[in-house]
Amino acid sequence: MLRTFVGLHLRELGGWIRVAALLELLATAGVSYSSARSAVSRLKGKGLFLPEEREAVAGYRLDPAAVTDLERGDRRIFSYRGQKDDEPWCLVSYSLPEVDRSKRVQLRRALTGLGFGAVTDGLWIAPGHLRAEVEDALENLDVRERATIFITQTPLTAEPFAQAAAKWWDLDALAAWHTEFLHRYEHAGSAPQPRPEPREAFVLWLRCVDDWKTIPYVDPGLPPSALPADWPGQRSVRLFADLRATYAEPARAHVRKVAAGR
């Protein structure tokens, strides 16, 4: 949740926040003082933010090196894109020898984390709009020269394409992610809703994003031809957009107020 808070709010605060304000905001969201301190230590160790005093006031500033990753996360989380049936696919083929087993494991983990499905051990598939992200992953792992990327139309499978997709992705698990999100937040997105109080909006929006942020990575936005007819994903995507429209701005207002010491 602390990482979610940093991604949502710290950049809007100019990249710095008082320690006391940070702990107060996390406590409002139900994070104990000791848990918050432990989480802060972990994120400092990972280089997400750094301690910095300003005018003799203890605080934390966002590490500039983390901004690129946060911006990449913004695009995935807040600009979730579903593929259309007539849009291209991205296939990644690679071959890594046994001596590079660790790189192979890292690459599989990276592809899974981007939402790719495994056709075979060395052939993975995802919607074409993920091409840039997989290019970055291959470069970061220093295996770009071992991989070939194909941009293609829908593969011709021996069985109906939806049956093949159900083998490449765990659609039951993806549906469960969407269904759980719907069960947890549909009440908050029901219309009509009274204007949310900023403090309550902050708590709900922080928890909402914390629960949602994994979904756009495990579900890459498969087209209708690859999904069951009763797919819950479209409903949860709409719900997240509605919650953002209702709660994001009053949540930001509460954070700005606390950060300013008012």
Which amino acid, 58? A
In tens digits, what is the pLDDT along the chain, a chain of 262 residues? Answer: 899 999 999 999 999 999 999 999 999 999 988 898 888 888 887 878 888 999 999 999 999 888 888 998 899 899 888 999 999 999 999 999 888 889 999 999 999 999 999 999 899 999 999 999 999 999 999 999 999 999 999 999 999 999 999 999 999 999 999 999 999 999 887 655 677 899 999 999 999 999 999 999 999 999 999 999 899 999 999 999 999 999 999 999 999 999 998 6
φ/ψ bin of 192: left (φ > 0), alpha (ψ from -120 to 50), beta (otherwise): beta
pTM for this structure?
0.89
**C-alpha 43 chain-centroid distance:** 17
Q: Alpha-carbon distance 40 to 103, whole Å? A: 30
